[in-house]
Structure 1
Amino acid sequence: MASALELAAMRHAITLSSFGLGTTSPNPPVGCVILDRHGATAGAGYHRRKGEAHAEVNALSAAGSAARGGTAVVTLEPCNHIGVTPACRQELIDAGIARVVISIIDPTSRGDGGAAVLTAHGIDVETNVIPDETLTVLGPWLVATRRRRPYLTWAYASDGKDRFAANERLTNDLRSSADLVVDDRLLEEGTPGGHASAHFTIPGEPTSDLREWLSTCYAAGSRSILLIGHQYSDEVRDSLDCVDEIVISLDVTSRPADLAAAWRSTLSGFELVGITSGGNDVRVRLRRPLLSLLPGYGLPE
């Protein structure tokens, strides 16, 4: 069972993994923390983009010799294949790591998986450590990988005094965690130039067939998309099953009847996961339950 120090390190790793949101795709956002043999933090790192060092390698580099006999705490199972970069499970073995604490097993792992190889080399491995917390960052990538289409967030401002300005604020606030942003038919990276060009391309503009367009985006390397604006309501409602998350900016001067209409149009299949107040507006966040979208991924039912 993971110790208190390991749980704290996992939450540290989850936070680090979020630094890669919007740039790692098609790879997952992963964080790793190395504890030395006494339980002190010796190194930490995260994966920034495909083709560059993975989280484990960055953390091991920061830890240096202090990693030997220590523990690697990582949000996703270390990879078991040699691709653009070396296999992370081998890097951990070569560094002399004695224990590996994993939050979520990688559904794309090759062969028996990195955890099995680590165990076969005599390393103590624990899995399924606070996966529900790790899903706050890794969940969209897992959902996209399972369905082979990007995790789609639709954000829009309700009727108010300045809907355009509210939509612009939504774009500025939410874009950094998305691979692609669609705003008034303009399509661009959430973080301009953030992805590795060899593994990520920007597809054509959205079409009337939302599902087909999302599949095209997935093939081009995208795993998360932010769609901004109420003008997409017809396309979205015709394919609401393609939408995973909804963020609504509600003007505080809106009439109660307007708010009731917003709820009636979006609640089916979604759960309320957050409400924040920001001066002139209130943001409501709804999401499909992630665990229901991830059967068989080693997560608690």
Structure 2
Amino acid sequence: MASDVELAAMRQAITLSSLGLGTTSPNPPVGCVILDRHGVTIGEGYHRRKGEAHAEVNALSAAGPAVQGGTAVVTLEPCNHIGVTPACRQELIDAGIARVVISVLDPTSRGDGGAAVLTAHGIDVETNVLPDETLNVLGPWLAATRRRRPYLIWAYALDKQNSQLVNEQLAVDLRSRTDLVLNDKTLEEGVPGGHAPEHFTLPHDLSADLRSWLSACYATGSRTIVAVGADHSGALHENLDCVDEIVIAVKKAAPTGVIAAATADLTTAGFELADISPGRTCVRVRLRRPNASP
């Protein structure tokens, strides 16, 4: 069972992993914290983008020689294959780590899996630590990987008056957590220049049907997309099962019952209320499918 110190380290690793949102795709956003043999944090790291060091390697580098006999706390199972970078499970073994605490197992892990290899090398491995909290960051990537299409967020202003200004603010606020932003018919990277260009490109054909377009986005490296504006309502309402999350901005002066009316059809379609965020002039209502994150 994970100790209180390890649970605190895992929450720090989850926070670190969020720093990679919008730039790691097609890789997952992962965070790692290294504890020495006395439970003191000596290294932290996260994965920034494909082709660069993974979270475990960055944390080990920060920890230095004090890592011997220590514990690695990581949000996703260390990778078990050699790709653009070395296998993380081997880096942990070579560093002399004695224990690895993992939140979520990697569905893309090859062979026996990183956790199994670590155990085979005599390392104590704990899995399934705070997985629900980790999914706040990792969930969209896992959902996209499982379905072979990006996690799709639809955000729009309910009131047509001043909708352009509200939609622009929604795009600004949401883009840093996504790979692509679709505004009307324009498509751009969520974090401009954030991805490794050799592993991520923009799909070209915006005229394709939604399902084909999403497949093309996945193939070119995208794992999360935000479509901004009510102009997308036609295509998205016809393919609502492709939408994982909806963010609706409702002005505070809206008549009573407007939010309920706006969300009635969506709840019938299987969406659940995730949270409500009051702002200065608008209330943002976020709905999500209960199966959007595995």
- Please report the TM-score for the alignment, with normalisation by the length of structure 1: 0.95
Q: After superposition, where does 1:128-139 map in structure 2 within 5 Å?
A: 128-139=128-139
Offset at residue 204 of structure 1 (A): 1.9
Q: Which amino acid aligns with 2:270?
A: G
Q: Separation in 2 of the partners of 1:222 and 1:26?
A: 6
- Aligned-residue identity in percent: 71
Q: Does 1:187 align with 2:157?
A: no
CA displacement 1:213-254 (0-9 Å, x = unmatched): 100000000000000001111100100000000000001112
Offset at residue 160 of structure 1 (A): 5.1
CA displacement 1:128-149 (0-9 Å, x = unmatched): 0010000000000000000000
**Equivalent residues of 1:24, 1:47 under 8 A apart:** yes
Q: In terms of mean alpha carbon deviation, does 162-171 or 259-268 score higher?
A: 259-268
**Equivalent residues of 1:160, 1:253 under 8 A apart:** no
**Equivalent residues of 1:177, 1:190 under 8 A apart:** yes
Q: After superposition, where does 1:1-150 map in structure 2 within 5 Å?
A: 1-150=1-150
**Equivalent residues of 1:271, 1:287 under 8 A apart:** yes
Q: Does 1:223 align with 2:227?
A: no
SS in 1 for 2:106: coil
Runs of 4+ with deviation above 4 angstroms? none
SS in 2 for 1:188: strand
Q: Which amino acid aligns with 1:59?
A: A
Q: Separation in 2 of the partners of 1:203 and 1:128?
A: 36
Q: Which amino acid aligns with 1:270?
A: F
SS in 2 for 1:50: coil
**Equivalent residues of 2:157, 2:249 under 8 A apart:** yes
Q: Separation in 1 of the partners of 2:279 and 2:257?
A: 21
**Equivalent residues of 1:157, 1:249 under 8 A apart:** yes
CA RMSD of aligned residues (A): 1.1
**Equivalent residues of 1:56, 1:92 under 8 A apart:** yes
SS in 2 for 1:140: helix
Offset at residue 273 of structure 1 (A): 1.1
Is the alpha carbon distance of 1:20 and 1:286 closer, same or farther for their aligned partners in structure 2, counting shifts above 3 Å? Answer: same
Q: Which amino acid aligns with 1:8?
A: A
**Equivalent residues of 2:140, 2:293 under 8 A apart:** no
**Equivalent residues of 2:236, 2:243 under 8 A apart:** yes
| Other-structure match for 1:299 | none
Corresponding pairs, count? 293
Q: In terms of mean alpha carbon deviation, does 128-137 or 206-215 score higher?
A: 206-215
SS in 1 for 2:276: strand
CA displacement 1:62-120 (0-9 Å, x = unmatched): 00011110000000000001110000000000100000000000000010000000000
Q: Separation in 1 of the partners of 2:257 and 2:111?
A: 56
| Other-structure match for 2:246 | 246
Q: Separation in 2 of the partners of 1:16 and 1:175?
A: 18
| Other-structure match for 1:270 | 271
Q: Which amino acid aligns with 1:287?
A: R
Offset at residue 255 of structure 1 (A): 2.0
**Equivalent residues of 2:139, 2:293 under 8 A apart:** no
Offset at residue 261 of structure 1 (A): 3.0
**Equivalent residues of 2:101, 2:129 under 8 A apart:** yes
| Other-structure match for 1:297 | none
Q: Which amino acid aligns with 1:91?
A: E
Offset at residue 161 of structure 1 (A): 3.6
SS in 2 for 1:97: coil
Q: Separation in 2 of the partners of 1:259 and 1:67?
A: 53
| Other-structure match for 1:198 | 198
Q: Unpaired runs of 5+ in structure 1?
A: 295-301
Q: Does 1:176 align with 2:168?
A: no
Q: Unpaired runs of 5+ in structure 2?
A: none
Offset at residue 270 of structure 1 (A): 1.2
Q: Separation in 2 of the partners of 1:176 and 1:70?
A: 34
**Equivalent residues of 2:150, 2:222 under 8 A apart:** yes
Q: Which amino acid aligns with 2:157?
A: A
SS in 2 for 1:256: coil
**Equivalent residues of 1:93, 1:121 under 8 A apart:** yes
**Equivalent residues of 2:156, 2:229 under 8 A apart:** yes
Q: Separation in 2 of the partners of 1:280 and 1:180?
A: 27
CA displacement 1:11-68 (0-9 Å, x = unmatched): 0000000000000000000000000000000000000000000000000000001111
